[in-house]
Structure 1
Amino acid sequence: MGRYDGKKVVITGGSSGFGLTTAQLLVDEGAHVLITGRNREALDSAGKQLGKNAIAVRSDASSLSEIEALVDRVKSEFGTIDALFVNAGINGFVSFEETTEDFYDELFDINTKGSYFTVQKLVPVLPEGSGVVLTTSVANALGLPALSVYAASKAALRSMTRSLARELLPKHIRVNAVSPGPIDSGILEKGLPPEAAEQTKTQMASENPMQRLGTSEEVAKAVLFLAFDATYSTGTELIVDGGATQL
């Protein structure tokens, strides 16, 4: 028997990075998982990798109508779910001076508004004792160059974690956040040219107290701890950053 036999989990932003790694750990231990993403090709690849216990659904986290359609799909596939990992999000390295309104709106629409309404719309399928995990970032506690909008969107999620945890206490639903630091998840390669991404990773590793980047699996294990094992924790943020914000 697997550790998560019979568990049903929804992971937004589950077609790559630590969203996909979390899904893999779950299906390997007997869970049924529904993952979402915006890129059909990436979703198809992830679905094939995860196998028969996974459902890959195209859904745009910035669209309320698509979030509502996702809820209908979750109800038809699972009825209720044991955990929700709200991981859909985008990054972007743009200086303060060069930030545009469109860029600002896109990050907040996906990272913040999308996360808020994903939780709101899926609450009816979250029974007593279930867990919600949001993805924040150590950027919400640091003043990092070219990340002001991204950091602000994640800081809003940190605040939201506390507020939603309080709001959902009467329903006995726990809400926590995982805060990744420098993780080799592939996100840098999506936002930077290959050479710049490699240079950035090298610099991040050299500046980290552990002298390395974290792995997607290390974040995924923290997510699963919050979702299932941290039964006396709500409103908290678990930092996974090699000590970068602590030492």
Structure 2
Amino acid sequence: MMSRSGKNVLVVGGARGIGRITVDLLLAQSEHVLIADRDERELGKCRTEWGEKGLTFRMDLTDKGEVSRTLDWVKEQVGALDVVVVTAAVHNTYPAEYLPDEIIDRVLDVNLISHIRFVRDVIPLIRKGGRIITVSSVSAGVGIPMESIYSVSKAGLELFYECMSIELSYKDIRCVIIQPGNVNTGFNETGNDYRPKGNPFIDDLYSKIVERTNSRYGIPPEQVARAIVNAINSKNPGLCVLVGGNAIKAHWAKRLLGRDLALKILKKMMCR
């Protein structure tokens, strides 16, 4: 697919994982890429690798003041954006009945609340005909046990993008949800903070879920990054792009079999 060359693209979470690979692909097709991330160490590596090809800067989505200053700076630097890609997120697995308040607050803040605030504030910078793209998860469409708060954050985000897709149609701004299954980035090995509490069913199921969702079983992150770039280059991208066999199977199982039967199958798979 040919690129409409020279677009201004902001990638939030662009110093690591899927975001970083997306930046590589965008730079290769001569886009003007701005890379935001809260990890200064990884940003330093990016500066060394990309040099002046990409414009890197620190931004923590949860810091309202930093986000505001950053968007003012972006406006001064480039004037307007053609595409905004948000890959920044945190992962968590934890049994619902034992969820600590700090985990609930952190996951919802990073993955949902601060993401929504950022998108709201960046919309005025996006040109007519632009794109807002986020990376969601199969967990948004299927309730993976032990991932309740993560699933809630991603499901809420998908509905936010769905609402925006109609609201922003007067500007011809397309909202795109990239929904992959398991991805081999090491992301699923973060946020696994639960420790056994003497509940045999929960402790055993937690161990099974952590193992079965291990990143080593996932698709290559390049596959997700290519889906993002295709959504940028496409004249008519869909609202939700499923990436990988697990995401596709989960999507159609729920729609063809119904919610109850799909859940029974999931329970059988996860609890065996």
Scaled by the length of structure 2, the TM-score of the pair is 0.79
The change in CA–CA distance for 1:50 and 1:190 in structure 2 (over 3 A counts) is farther
38-47 or 10-19: bigger deviation: 38-47
Query: What does 1:89-104 correspond to in 2, within 5 Å?
Result: 89-104=89-104
The change in CA–CA distance for 1:192 and 1:49 in structure 2 (over 3 A counts) is farther
Paired AA for residue 221 in structure 1: R
Match of 1:232 in 2: 236
- 1:162 partnered with 2:162: yes
40-49 or 156-165: bigger deviation: 40-49
1:11 to partner: Cα distance: 0.7
Kept after mapping to 2: 8 A contact 1:4/1:29: no
Kept after mapping to 1: 8 A contact 2:12/2:85: yes
1:179 to partner: Cα distance: 0.8
Match of 1:48 in 2: 48
Match of 1:32 in 2: 32
Match of 2:258 in 1: none
Paired AA for residue 26 in structure 1: L
CA deviations over 1:2-24 (Å, ceiling 9, x no partner)? 94631210011111010111011
- 1:19 partnered with 2:19: yes
7-16 or 56-65: bigger deviation: 56-65
Query: What does 1:70-89 correspond to in 2, within 5 Å?
Result: 70-89=70-89
39-48 or 130-139: bigger deviation: 39-48
Scaled by the length of structure 1, the TM-score of the pair is 0.87
Kept after mapping to 2: 8 A contact 1:7/1:81: yes
Equivalent-residue separation in structure 2 for 1:201 and 1:151 (angstroms): 15
Query: What does 1:94-243 correspond to in 2, within 5 Å?
Result: 94-192=94-192, 203-204=212-213, 213-229=218-234, 231-233=235-237, 236-243=239-246
Kept after mapping to 2: 8 A contact 1:9/1:32: yes
Percent identity at matched positions? 26
The change in CA–CA distance for 1:136 and 1:201 in structure 2 (over 3 A counts) is same
Q: Tell me, what secondary structure is at the counterpart of 2:98?
A: coil
Equivalent-residue separation in structure 1 for 2:86 and 2:166 (angstroms): 17
Q: Tell me, what secondary structure is at the counterpart of 1:127?
A: strand
1:202 to partner: Cα distance: 7.1
1:49 to partner: Cα distance: 2.3
CA deviations over 1:191-235 (Å, ceiling 9, x no partner)? 459xxxxx97974489xxxx9521111101111122230x3345x
The unaligned stretches of length 5 or more in structure 1 are: 194-198
The structure whose Rg is larger is 2
CA deviations over 1:156-202 (Å, ceiling 9, x no partner)? 01101111111111111111110121110221343459xxxxx9797
1:73 to partner: Cα distance: 1.9
Paired AA for residue 181 in structure 1: G
Equivalent-residue separation in structure 2 for 1:184 and 1:58 (angstroms): 25
The unaligned stretches of length 5 or more in structure 2 are: 194-207, 254-272
The change in CA–CA distance for 1:103 and 1:212 in structure 2 (over 3 A counts) is closer
Equivalent-residue separation in structure 2 for 1:203 and 1:104 (angstroms): 23
Equivalent-residue separation in structure 1 for 2:117 and 2:99 (angstroms): 25
Runs of 4+ with >2 A deviation: 2-5, 46-51, 188-193, 199-206, 231-234
Equivalent-residue separation in structure 1 for 2:105 and 2:214 (angstroms): 31
The change in CA–CA distance for 1:201 and 1:4 in structure 2 (over 3 A counts) is farther
1:31 to partner: Cα distance: 1.2
Computed over aligned residues only, the root mean square deviation of the Cα atoms, in angstroms, reads 2.4
CA deviations over 1:81-132 (Å, ceiling 9, x no partner)? 1110021111112111221121111111111112212211111211111111
Equivalent-residue separation in structure 2 for 1:28 and 1:228 (angstroms): 13
